[in-house]
Structures are given as structure tokens and as C-alpha cells.
Amino acid sequence: MAKNTANGDHQTTTKPPPTPSPLRFSKFFQPNMRILVTGGAGFIGSHLVDKLMEDEKNEVIVVDNFFTGSKDNLKRWIGHPRFELRRHEGVTVSVTCLLFVDVTEPLLVEVDKIYHLACPASPIFYKYNAVKTIKTNVIGTLNMLGLAKRVGARILLTSTSEVYGDPLVHPQPESYWGNVNPIGVRSCYDEGKRVAETLMFDYHRQHGIGCPQYSTDAFMISMHFATEIRIARIFNTYGPRMNIDDGRVVSNFIAQSLRDEPLTVQAPGTQTRSFCYVSDMVDGLIRLMEGDNTGPINIGNPGEFTMIELAELVKEVITYSQEAALCLISPKVEIKMVENTPDDPRQRKPDITKAKELLGWEPKVKLRDGLPLMEEDFRLRLGVSKKI
Ligand SMILES: O=c1ccn([C@@H]2O[C@H](COP(=O)(O)OP(=O)(O)O[C@H]3OC[C@@H](O)[C@H](O)[C@H]3O)[C@@H](O)[C@H]2O)c(=O)[nH]1
């Protein structure tokens, strides 16, 4: 008897593993595309869900443990017939509540595509429980790969620019192997994502390319699914729905401006980052999933800013009063230099040649245009109106 373990490994080959319903191959069956989004209640995940739900052929299942994600981000979809809620071992789900699942536990659902985003992404959150972060990246990715293998789903991992560590090559192409401290406080995330990438490629290599595959074993024909993988290396992303106290630099600066607090630039302030607006990010992820390239592919905006430049730009863009709007500078906002955290990368900027060539993708929203959209969302959530 063939036995499929929860992580999708076949223990014998005498019987074919479970296959999708034969109905899916029938002439009159028009299946919807069933898409699982892990971490779908988070900042990028929820924007991705919005985009996927725009296509009436998509059914979307979200799993999230709500450590950093929030049901509020998905409230418009709760109860929607294509936004499916499932029961998972021991977890009863009512129609008003989302599936509470942690990817470190195996998950059994039938899906065609998996966007695997689940993991805290802000340094203060991923460092908060470092062991849990690395478990999420390693065990969580193993579980999702096992699921992908079992049901024949294509899986996309959102990896990170942090796999380049404190890069010695600038800007960073995908061919750069990085400069990562394996025992530092950020390692749970950057090494975790590096292992996750390794697992993706090992599953892909070990289980062949092309889907499905047939093989004969003692005169039995067995079918198994190759693991089709996609890897995106996400660079710093910003936009509406970021947690207000998320701790990342753009959300910090906007929240601080709206609260009339000084902008905390971490020393030396000359370190650089490149900021991608969330709608561009989602577009890049979907193109990668739908295209023919496994990646890894950098998805990020190559516009590079020092943290001092970013603080100046936020000061300029966030207006407090008509007077401030006219002179484009809020008189109240100050910049305060504060201590930095260990291993903070000194520079970061994506080389997006591959994304342009292979996905036909490049970001459209400039930082100057994206910041006011985020400001509007933060004002609503903080209850701070424009004083004009
Ligand atoms: O209040 C702050 C917060 C942060 N910073 C600085 O801003 C820079 C960016 O820091 P963030 O915390 O926003 O994010 P990081 O670039 O360190 O990490 C991010 O990298 C890419 C993604 O995968 C993740 O979202 C996240 O890990 C750092 O140099 C940090 O020192 C400030 O100057 N002030």
C-alpha cells in the first residue's frame, strides 16, 4: 500500500499516490483555480488576496496564525463564496472566522497553487521569537512543499533580499551568494529564508520537472507530481495595511510624523534601502507564479535612498497644515539619530534585469507617489485628520 505522510512523502511506490479528482480532467468540468495563500492576512498577503479575488475563476484559501497578520485586512472577503474557509485538524472554523493555522503544522487541502508568504517580516517581530521564525521558514516551507508535492500544486516562496545579508556587491543580482552572518540576531530570518530556498530547489530537483510524471514499478504504473517552484526575493516593501507599530522604517516614519514625534533615524543614517510599493510587488509575484521561470528573481524597486534621505522625503510629503502644504515642509517634524541594531545591512538595491527580461516586470510607483497613499491609510487608522 502506498502511504502518504502529512508532508507528502510516499513511503512505497506500489500504488499511485492520490491524484486530483478525475472530474478535473473531464470534458465539461470547468474548475476554478484553487489558490492557497499562507500569511494571507498579512500586509503583502492581503493585497495579493485582493488581486487574486478580482479574477472570478480563482478560489482563495487563506491560512494565517495572526501573529503579525490581521483579520481586518481581509474583512471584505469574509463570507464571499470564492473565499473558502476550511476545517483543519482540531480547529473548528465558523463562517465568520478565518482558518487559524500555523504552517509549522502540516496542512491538508486540495489546491492548484500555493503562495507561501507566512513568516514575520519586520526585524523586531522576526527577532522576537527567533526559534519560531526559523521553524516557520524551515518546517513551514517543508510542510508547504510536501503539500505541493502531494496535490501537484505549483508553489511560490516569498524569499527576501535579506539572503544577500550585508552585501558586498551592489546592486544585488540573483547570482550573488551574499554575505550573511550565520549566528547573528538576524540569522533566524536570513538563514531561514536561505534554507527555505534550498528546500525549494531540492524538492524541485529530486522530484523532477514537468507535471504529472508517470513511472513503472513492478508492472504498476504510478503517477507523481513534480514540484513546480517559483522563488521571489522580495526587497523592502511599503504601503497601506502595514502594521502601524510594525517597526520597519517607512511605517515608523509615517506613524511618527502623524503622531508629532521625531523621526528615529538609526545610526549612521547613510545606510540605504530601495522601497517597492505593494501593488507593484503583488504584480511581480503574480507574474512570477504565472510565468515559466523558477527564479530566484528579485522583486523590488531599484530607487535607492539613505535613511536620512527617506526621513527628509517623509517630512516633505506628509503635510500637517495648509501652511505646511504650501511650503511642503512640516515645521513640527524633527529627525532624531538613535542607536542601530546589530548586523544592519549597509546598502541594498535590487538588480532587476532578470525581472524585466523574464517577467516583463518593473515597478511603476515612485516612493514620492506611494508615501501619500500610505499616509492616507495611516491617518484613517490612527484617527488623525489633515489639519487644513
Ligand atoms: O525607525 C527606524 C527603523 C529602521 N531604520 C533603518 O531603516 C533601515 C531599514 O530597516 P527596516 O526595519 O525597515 O527593514 P530591513 O531592511 O532591515 O529588513 C527588511 O528587509 C527586507 C524584507 O525582507 C523585510 O521586510 C525586512 O527584513 C535599516 O537600516 C534600519 O536601521 C531607521 O532608521 N529607523
Q: How many domains does the chain have?
A: 1
Catalytic site includes residue 277: no
Residue 121 in contact with ligand 1 by CB distance below 6 A = yes
Residue 246 in contact with ligand 1 by CB distance below 6 A = no
Of 115, 126, 164, 189, the active-site residue reads 189
Q: 238-252, pLDDT tens digit by residue?
A: 999 999 999 999 999
Contact 359, 293 (CB under 8 A): yes
* pLDDT level of residue 85 (50, 70, 90 thresholds): low
Contact 342, 285 (CB under 8 A): no
- Between 84 and 279, residue with greater pLDDT: 279
Residue 93: which domain range?
Answer: 32-237+276-302+349-365
Contacts 24+ apart (CB under 8 A), 213-216: 215/13
Would you state the pLDDT for residue 84? Answer: 79
Residue with cell 503539500: 147
For residue 20, is it within any domain?
A: no
Instruction: Report, as an integer, the average pLDDT of 12-35.
Output: 65
Q: Which atom of ligand 1 is least distant from the CA of 124?
A: 12
Q: Which atom of ligand 1 is least distant from the CA of 348?
A: 16
Q: What integer best gives the mean pLDDT of the chain?
A: 86
Q: 264-275, pLDDT tens digit by residue?
A: 999 999 999 999
Return the DSSP state at 144: H
Instruction: Report, as an integer, the average pLDDT of 30-54.
Output: 93
For residue 309, is it within any domain?
A: no
For residue 323, is it within any domain?
A: no
Residue 162 in contact with ligand 1 by CB distance below 6 A = yes
Would you state the pLDDT for residue 90? Answer: 38
d(CA 359, CA 363): 12
For residue 251, is it within any domain?
A: no
pTM: 0.88
For residue 197, is it within any domain?
A: yes
DSSP SS3 for 63: strand
Question: Which grid coordinates are listed for 355?
Answer: 525581472
Would you state the pLDDT for residue 193? Answer: 98
Report the CATH number at residue 183. 3.40.50.720
For residue 253, is it within any domain?
A: no
For residue 88, is it within any domain?
A: yes
Residue 264 in contact with ligand 1 by CB distance below 6 A = yes
For residue 200, is it within any domain?
A: yes
Query: Does the ipTM exceed 0.85?
Result: yes
Question: Which residue has its alpha carbon closest to ligand 1 atom 28?
Answer: 344
CA distances for 255 relative to 242, 371, 379, angstroms: 11, 12, 9
Give the side-chain half-sphere CA count within 13 A for 102: 13
